[in-house]
Amino acid sequence: MYLEPGLTPLGAREANRSAVVDLLTSVGVAHFAVRGTSDHGTVLAVSEEDRETVLGALFRGLGQYAGHLSVIAPETGFSTTPRSSRDPKAWRQVRTAAAVQVSWHRADVGRHLTLGHEYGCAIEFWRRHGTRLVAPRANRVTWTVSGEGGNVLGAARLFSRFVSDYTPRCDAPPLATRPEFLVKCVEDIAFPVDAVYTWVDGDDPAWKQRKASAKGEVYHAESASDARFISRDELRYSVRSLHMFAPWIANVYIVTDDQVPAWLREDVPGVRVVSHREIFRNGADLPTFNSHSIESQLHHIKGLSEHFLYFNDDMFIGRLVAPHAFFTPNGTARYFPSRNRIPQGPVVETDTPVDAACKNNRALLHERFGRVITQPMEHIPYALRRSAMEEAERDFPQAWARTAASRFRAMTDLSTTSSFGLYYAALTGRAQPGSMPFTYLQLAVPDLADRLQRLLDGRDQDSFCLNDAFSTPEDIEAQQELLDGFLDAYFPVPSPYER
Per-residue pLDDT of 307-316, as tens digits, reads: 999 999 999 9
More confident site: 262 or 230: 262
10 has pLDDT over 90: yes
Kindly report the backbone phi and psi dihedral angles of residue 108, in degrees, each rounded to the nearest multiple of 5, phi listed first: -70, 165
Instruction: Lowest mean pLDDT of 97-101, 183-187, 210-214, name the range.
Output: 210-214
In this prediction, what percent of the chain has a pLDDT beyond 90? 88
Is the distance from CB of 246 to CB of 219 less than 8 angstroms?
A: no
Task: Say how many CA atoms lie within 13 Å of 125 toward its Cβ.
Answer: 21
In which band, very low, low, confident or very high, does the pLDDT at 478 lie, cut at 50, 70 and 90? confident
111 has pLDDT over 80: yes
Q: How far apart are CA 367 and CA 460, in angstroms?
A: 41
Which segments within 119-251 are labelled E, that is strand? 121-129, 132-134, 144-146, 152-154, 175-177, 193-198
Q: How far apart are CA 2 and CA 67, in angstroms?
A: 10
Provide long-range contacts, Cβ within 8 A and 24+ apart, for 235-238.
235/197, 235/199, 235/261, 235/313, 236/261, 236/263, 236/495, 236/498, 237/316, 237/487, 237/490, 237/491, 238/197, 238/311, 238/313, 238/314, 238/315, 238/316
Q: What is the mean pLDDT of residues 343-368?
A: 96
Strand order from edge to edge, sheet including 252-256: 271-275, 252-256, 193-198, 307-312, 382-385
220 has pLDDT over 70: no
Which among 73-87, 225-239, 392-406 has the top mean pLDDT?
Answer: 392-406
**Per-residue pLDDT at 215:** 59
125 has pLDDT over 70: yes
Is the distance from CB of 75 to CB of 137 less than 8 angstroms?
A: no
Instruction: Lowest mean pLDDT of 18-22, 47-51, 145-149, 433-437, name the range.
Output: 145-149
223 has pLDDT over 70: no
In this prediction, what percent of the chain has a pLDDT beyond 70? 96
How would you class 100 by CB atoms within 10 Å of its CB: exposed for 0-12, middle for 13-18, buried for 19 or more? buried
In which band, very low, low, confident or very high, does the pLDDT at 222 lie, cut at 50, 70 and 90? low
**Per-residue pLDDT at 469:** 67
In which band, very low, low, confident or very high, does the pLDDT at 77 lie, cut at 50, 70 and 90? confident
Q: What is the mean pLDDT of residues 368-389?
A: 97
**Residues paired with 334 in a beta bridge:** 432
**Per-residue pLDDT at 371:** 97
Q: What is the mean pLDDT of residues 251-259?
A: 97
227 has pLDDT over 70: no
Average pLDDT over the chain, rounded to an integer: 94
438 has pLDDT over 70: yes
**Per-residue pLDDT at 314:** 95
Q: What is the pTM of this model?
A: 0.94
**Per-residue pLDDT at 149:** 85
Domains and CATH numbers, the chain: 2-182 (no CATH), 193-490 (3.90.550)
In which band, very low, low, confident or very high, does the pLDDT at 78 lie, cut at 50, 70 and 90? confident
130 has pLDDT over 90: yes
**Per-residue pLDDT at 216:** 53
Q: What is the mean pLDDT of residues 92-110?
A: 96
Q: How far apart are CA 68 and CA 404, in angstroms?
A: 56
Q: What is the mean pLDDT of residues 207-218?
A: 76
In which band, very low, low, confident or very high, does the pLDDT at 476 lie, cut at 50, 70 and 90? confident
* Dihedral of alpha carbons 460, 461, 462, 468, sign: negative
**Per-residue pLDDT at 226:** 52
SS3 content of the chain, % helix, strand, coil (to 5): 35, 20, 45
399 has pLDDT over 80: yes
In which band, very low, low, confident or very high, does the pLDDT at 495 lie, cut at 50, 70 and 90? very high
37 has pLDDT over 60: yes
**Per-residue pLDDT at 496:** 95
Question: For residue range 184-210, what is the model confidence (pLDDT) as tens digits?
Answer: 999 999 999 999 999 999 888 889 888
In which band, very low, low, confident or very high, does the pLDDT at 169 lie, cut at 50, 70 and 90? confident
120 has pLDDT over 60: yes
Residue from 306, 322, 8 nearest 140 by CA = 322
Q: What is the mean pLDDT of residues 301-310?
A: 98
217 has pLDDT over 90: no
381 has pLDDT over 70: yes
Q: What is the DSSP letter of 312?
A: E
**Per-residue pLDDT at 74:** 82
